[in-house]
Amino acid sequence: MNAMISMRHAALVLIAGTVLSTTPADAETRRFRLVWANDPTATATVGWEQVSGGPAVVHYDRVDHGTEVSAYAHRREVDREERFRGMHNCFARLTGLEPDTAYYFVVVDDDGPSRRFYFRTAPAVAKPFAFVAGGDSRNYRKPRRKANRLVRKLRPLFVAFTGDMINKDENGEWWQWFDDWQQTIADDGRMFPVLPHRGNHESGGNEVIDRLFDTTPGNYYALDFGGDLMRFYVLNSEIPAGGKQGAWLEGDLTEHASRIRHLCVGYHKPMRPVVLAKAEGADEYDQWAEVFHRHGVDLVFESDSHSVKRTKPLVPSTGPGSVEGFTAAYGDPNATVYVGEGCWGAPLRAADDAKPWMLASGSFNSFELVHVYEDRMEVRTVRVDSEAGVGGNAEGDDLGLPAGLAVWEPASGAVLTVEGDGGRSVEVATLEEGAPQPDLSGAAGRELLFRLRVPAGASDLEFRLSGGEGNADLFVNARTLPEVDDHQFGSSQPGNDERIAIGSPEEGAYLVMVRGTTAFSGVTLEADCTAPVVPPARVVIAFPRGSEWSYHDAGTAPDPKWKQPGALGWPKGRGQLGYGDGDEETTLQGKHLAYYFRRSVTLRDIDEISNVEFDLLYDDGAILHLNGVQAYRTASMPSGPVDARTPADTRVGENTRLVFSVDPALLVEGENVIAVQVHNQSTSSSDISFDLAMRVTRSGGAGVAGYLRFVAEHRSAAGETAPEQDHNGNGIPNFAEYAFGLDPFDPVTELSHLPRLVDGEGPAIEFVRRPDPGIRWVHQVSADRTDWRPGVEGEDFRMEVREAGDLERVRLIPLDETRKTFFRVEPVER
């Protein structure tokens, strides 16, 4: 009995302690929030819930007076009260603030002051800073709180929250959300302004965001940061993307884009979700993609899908090579990078709809950390699950990366760099080849800008200006905007007859400026080029069935590094590998649950690879890892962690064959490791089988353009003319013969063109090659013909190149004549 009483007392003490700890001096005010919806250099809105009593007053100053209210130089009474979502929301709009300055404040009501908070206004001049962007914090509070705590550790200038704060737009969920948001407040009281966006789960309409954060009725606006350094657009994808919002966006970009270095946009619904079950954002794409491109929007934050993605710089296009309305365009200064898609604390969805123009995709709790510099923005995707082990940035060091911070490291790199465009995000019209732009006019000094996209392999590019009156001149640059005094090509004749010819243009964007030396009118601009031979997409066998594999058949756990590059000393054997069926090329030890296989394959120009396909023969279950990442798991395998003692869930038929594709983003340039574990359903199983082929679909790069021209000129009939085929059956692929200056359709091969040993002043390797810029020559060296490595000119050999008619004769001379060196020469399509 005594024990029970003492237990009750202990419980009472505990409850009292809890109440006291959550009832500090700010008992009448809580759920604080700091919002930027106006000039962040001079304003900030302090919001809170007034629990009881009359509205409080904000006392603020540039000097920290702690909770000594009377010492604060300024005070601001409540500008707006909203009784909404079960809270009495109060907002005090602080104005007339100094840029890049810390402001300390307390919220004071009848019961006294709150704890002392502070924030920093945004700089008014170009100065590097950091901000955080992300969305979807609904229904998964644990990572939501972790992400919130990471905000205070990273100390960004602000947070762009791209919608779906809550799951159900009702009182309780908002209370929880604001309670959790308090965890963004640093221990020293610093608050981080939020730019709230509306998501579809803010289903109460635009008023929800406006009344809880005091932003704007339509939930769309734009703010400058760092003077002309960056402008951030908060857009609303829950209302028409066109209409009033679209007109405002077009007008604002027209007014501001030309002076801003970095243009960023945030909104909720993605144009092209990375999740298959999500419909495409037709309205957003139609109304915004072209506008973003025309005005040079650099970086877009999307949300909604509960997954992660990064794209290459994209331009909207429905032309050849485009996928779902976009093509990648690294050379286009107005191209836009899209990132997202909403993992601040929401149940995760598989990123199963990656596009060829995506750099990477994944599925984990995260947000984007952006460092903004004068010449670039660096985007890192921060994994929030390891928040507990993360240190913290010191005040004033918001560009640091605290110890323990887990940053996503996809194959394309941990840091996504979005380059600045030199502050010239001016409106650039599209110029189509063969489609004149008539009736150009302007006053003296007027600059009209156009962009022409030149495909790979095009030739004889010509820009012409003609007709009309006055005097306009023509300036052209590849990739960057031309200036009158800084351009690659220019024509400044009297009058309007200007012509610029470029014999071998680069692939990508050419930027054209028509500038009035005097007033001009009625002028026509046109561009022509010789179209390239478009290389067709083609399937290339990376390795066939029956290839050699290293294997581990001891029934034990493999070396932990078995999915990584490097030798492990495993035995080798050709496929099919297994036991029990009698059709194996390599017989393995029987009666184990798990078998492990690995091999590597060298792939180059992986940007051209649009599909990676595996042709798997297995029995009973298999998991395929590509470069250490699980890329595929057969349905017969259980979910969750798998080890050498894990059986397959079900037994499948003999030699079951499965063809499937994996995400090309998992590939890396150069050596790729394919690791496969095959599991038996039980140790009593009579057999196990494994073999694998890998095929990649290449879009075809510039490298084969010259070859295809050769094909068109030398062989009109159809046949085995694909680069990887062997038309004349001499064992050398067509492209290689072409590269060595041979005719792949001539059955007689000139052996002297192929690499051979010659002895002049010393031993050397000599071969003939075709001087085609589409061919990259790979020279490898080895001491034993087993381990090959890239040869380095100047260290391993020197190279002599002599002209031989239309071809070149090349000699590779080893620098160290004291030891034996083997050479391997490989022509590779660029």
Residue 483's DSSP bridge partners are: 486
Q: How far is the CB of 628 from other proteins (least distance, A)?
A: 20
- Residues 202-221: x/- map of binding to other proteins (CB under 8 A)? -xxxxx--------------
N-to-C CA span, the chain: 85
Q: Which stretch binds other proteins (CB under 8 A): 137-145, 455-463, 695-703, 716-724?
A: 137-145
Q: What's the rounded Cα separation, in Å, for the pair 807 and 741?
A: 7
Q: By CB under 8 A, is residue 17 in contact with other proteins? A: no
Which is closer to other proteins, CB of 139 or CB of 216? 139
- Residues 718-757: x/- map of binding to other proteins (CB under 8 A)? ----------------------------------------
Which is closer to other proteins, CB of 58 or CB of 291? 291
Using CB under 8 A, which of 135, 270, 325, 362 touches other proteins? 325
Q: Is 702 exposed, middle or buried (0-12, 13-18, 19+ CB in 10 A)?
A: buried
Q: Count of residues for the chain?
A: 830
Q: By CB under 8 A, is residue 240 in contact with other proteins? A: yes
Using CB under 8 A, which of 117, 285, 301, 549 touches other proteins? 285
Which is closer to other proteins, CB of 155 or CB of 349? 349
Q: By CB under 8 A, is residue 170 in contact with other proteins? A: yes
Q: Which stretch binds other proteins (CB under 8 A): 150-158, 237-245, 490-498, 760-768?
A: 237-245
Which is closer to other proteins, CB of 49 or CB of 202? 202
Nearest to 181 by CA among 206, 144, 133: 144
Per residue, the 3-state secondary structure of 662-700, as one string, reads ECHHHCCCEEEEEEEEEECCCCCCCCEEEEEEEEEEECC
CA distances from 821 to 498, 578, 817 (A): 57, 38, 8
Q: Which stretch binds other proteins (CB under 8 A): 167-175, 544-552, 702-710, 743-751?
A: 167-175
Q: By CB under 8 A, is residue 242 in contact with other proteins? A: yes
Q: What's the rounded Cα separation, in Å, for the pair 358 and 312?
A: 6
Q: Which stretch binds other proteins (CB under 8 A): 27-35, 314-322, 416-424, 520-528?
A: 314-322
Q: Angle, to 10 degrees, between the axis of helix 141-154 and the axis of helix 171-181?
A: 30
Give the count of beta carbons closer than 10 Å to the beta carbon of residue 502.
19
Cα radius of gyration (the chain): 32
The size of the interface with other proteins (CB under 8 A), counted in residues, is 43
Give the count of beta carbons closer than 10 Å to the beta carbon of residue 570.
18
Residue 485 per-residue DSSP state: T
Q: By CB under 8 A, is residue 86 in contact with other proteins? A: no
Q: How far is the CB of 285 from other proteins (least distance, A)?
A: 7
Instruction: With H, G, I as helix, E, B as strand and everything else as coil, classify residue 363.
Output: coil
Instruction: With H, G, I as helix, E, B as strand and everything else as coil, classify residue 262.
Output: strand
Which is closer to other proteins, CB of 208 or CB of 377? 208
Q: By CB under 8 A, is residue 564 in contact with other proteins? A: no
Residue 770 per-residue DSSP state: -
Q: By CB under 8 A, is residue 238 in contact with other proteins? A: yes
Using CB under 8 A, which of 24, 347, 389, 413 touches other proteins? 347
Which is closer to other proteins, CB of 280 or CB of 613? 280
Q: How far is the CB of 594 from other proteins (least distance, A)?
A: 22
Q: How far is the CB of 198 from other proteins (least distance, A)?
A: 10
264 is written with which tokens? 């960023």
Q: By CB under 8 A, is residue 286 in contact with other proteins? A: yes
Q: By CB under 8 A, is residue 283 in contact with other proteins? A: yes
Q: How far is the CB of 178 from other proteins (least distance, A)?
A: 16
Site for other proteins in 355-394 (CB under 8 A): 363
Transcribe 705-730 into DSSP letters. HHHHHHHHHH--S-SS-STTS-TT-S
Q: What's the rounded Cα separation, in Å, for the pair 235 and 265?
A: 7
Which is closer to other proteins, CB of 282 or CB of 429? 282
Q: By CB under 8 A, is residue 81 in contact with other proteins? A: no
Instruction: Say which residue the tokens 């339509």 belong to.
Output: 218
Which is closer to other proteins, CB of 238 or CB of 772? 238
Q: What's the rounded Cα separation, in Å, for the pair 321 and 405?
A: 38
Q: By CB under 8 A, is residue 318 in contact with other proteins? A: yes
Q: Which stretch binds other proteins (CB under 8 A): 240-248, 372-380, 499-507, 527-535?
A: 240-248
Q: What's the rounded Cα separation, in Å, for the pair 660 and 387?
A: 36
Using CB under 8 A, which of 35, 94, 241, 631 touches other proteins? 241
Q: By CB under 8 A, is residue 141 in contact with other proteins? A: yes
Q: By CB under 8 A, is residue 278 in contact with other proteins? A: yes
Residue 723's DSSP bridge partners are: none
Q: By CB under 8 A, is residue 179 in contact with other proteins? A: no
Q: By CB under 8 A, is residue 250 in contact with other proteins? A: no
Which is closer to other proteins, CB of 207 or CB of 469? 207
Cis before residue 576, ω within 30 degrees of 0? yes
Q: By CB under 8 A, is residue 499 in contact with other proteins? A: no
Q: By CB under 8 A, is residue 109 in contact with other proteins? A: no
Which is closer to other proteins, CB of 93 or CB of 272? 272
Q: By CB under 8 A, is residue 112 in contact with other proteins? A: no
Which is closer to other proteins, CB of 228 or CB of 283? 283
Q: By CB under 8 A, is residue 445 in contact with other proteins? A: no
Which is closer to other proteins, CB of 240 or CB of 404? 240
Contact 343, 365 (CB under 8 A): yes
Which is closer to other proteins, CB of 81 or CB of 324? 324
Q: By CB under 8 A, is residue 492 in contact with other proteins? A: no
Q: By CB under 8 A, is residue 321 in contact with other proteins? A: no
Cα dihedral 328, 330, 332, 335, rounded to 10, equals 60
Contact 766, 756 (CB under 8 A): yes
Q: By CB under 8 A, is residue 139 in contact with other proteins? A: yes
Q: Which stretch binds other proteins (CB under 8 A): 28-36, 283-291, 623-631, 711-719?
A: 283-291
Which is closer to other proteins, CB of 242 or CB of 410? 242
Q: What's the rounded Cα separation, in Å, for the pair 724 and 433?
A: 32
Q: What's the rounded Cα separation, in Å, for the pair 651 and 487?
A: 67
Can you point out the beta strands (E) in 392-491? 416-419, 429-430, 437-442, 447-454, 459-466, 469-478, 489-491
Q: By CB under 8 A, is residue 18 in contact with other proteins? A: no
Q: What's the rounded Cα separation, in Å, for the pair 224 and 547?
A: 58
CA distances from 762 to 62, 234, 302 (A): 78, 69, 62
Can you point out the beta strands (E) in 531-604? 538-543, 548-552, 572-574, 577-579, 586-587, 594-603
Residues 6 or more apart in contact with residue 194 via CB below 8 angstroms? 33, 34, 35, 36, 158, 159, 160, 161, 181, 213
Q: By CB under 8 A, is residue 350 in contact with other proteins? A: yes
Question: Cα-flanking dihedrals φ and ψ of residue 13, to 5°?
Answer: -60, -40
Which is closer to other proteins, CB of 109 or CB of 180? 180
Contact 692, 674 (CB under 8 A): yes
Q: What's the rounded Cα separation, in Å, for the pair 363 and 816?
A: 51
**For the chain, how are helix, strand and coil distributed in percent, rounded to 5?**
15, 40, 45
Residue 135 per-residue DSSP state: -
Instruction: Say which residue the tokens 């990648």 belong to.
Output: 328
Which is closer to other proteins, CB of 168 or CB of 714? 168
Which is closer to other proteins, CB of 42 or CB of 323? 323
Q: How far is the CB of 341 from other proteins (least distance, A)?
A: 14
Q: How far is the CB of 304 from other proteins (least distance, A)?
A: 12
Binding site for other proteins (CB under 8 A): 139-142, 167-170, 172, 203-207, 237-244, 277-280, 282-283, 285-286, 316, 318, 322, 324-325, 346-350, 363, 639-640
